[in-house]
Amino acid sequence: MALTMEPRVKHPILSLIALSLLIMPVQAAEDLRVAVEMPDMMKSHMLANMRDHLLTLSEIQSALAKGEYEVAADLAEKRLGMTSLESHGAAHMAGFMPKGMQEIGYNMHRAASRFAVKAQEAQVTRDLPRALGALSEVSQQCIACHAGYRLK
C-alpha cells in the first residue's frame, strides 16, 4: 500500500518537471531569422521608422473606417509608399540589408503606393473591400520581413 501511495505523493512534482521539460524546447526554439548588422545610429533610425509604419497602418485603418479614402491614400503614399523612400533614408539603409530584405522593403513601398491608388479610386467607387485587400498586401510585406530578418 505504502509503495503505491508513494508515487502518488510525488506525482505533482514529477508532472511539473515533465511539463517543464516539454515546454522548455519550445521556449528555446531556435531563432532562424537572419541577423542583420548595422551601426547603432542606423538601427535606432530604422526602428523609429518601424514604429511610424505601425502608427501609419493604424491611422490608415481609422481613416478607412470613417470613409476618408483620400486621407488614407495620402498617409499611405507619404509615410509608407514610394514617396516616403527619401525621408526614410532608404537608399542609405538599404546598403546594410541583405538582398532579400531589400526586396521585401521595396515590395512594401510599392504595395503601399498601390494601396494609395486603390484608396483614391475608392473615393469614387466606395469599394472598401478592394481597398482593404490592397492594404493587406502592405502588411503581408511587414510580416514577411519580420519572419526572415532581425537586427543584431
Give the residue from 55, 70, 61 showing the smallest Cα distance to 118: 70
Contact present, 75 and 63 (Cβ < 8 Å): yes
Angular region, 126: left φ>0, alpha ψ -120 to 50, beta rest: left
Find the part of the chain contacting ligand HEC (CB under 6 A) among 5-13, 87-95, 121-129, 140-148: 140-148
50 counts as binding ligand HEC under rule CB under 6 A: yes
* By the rule CB under 6 A, 47 interacts with ligand HEC: yes
The answer to whether 76 touches 82, Cβ cutoff 8 Å, is no
| Interface region with ligand HEC, contact rule CB under 6 A, candidates 9-17, 67-75, 116-124, 135-143 | 135-143
If the CB atoms of residues 128 and 148 are measured against ligand HEC, the closer one turns out to be 148
Member of 63, 104, 122, 135 binding ligand HEC (CB under 6 A): 104
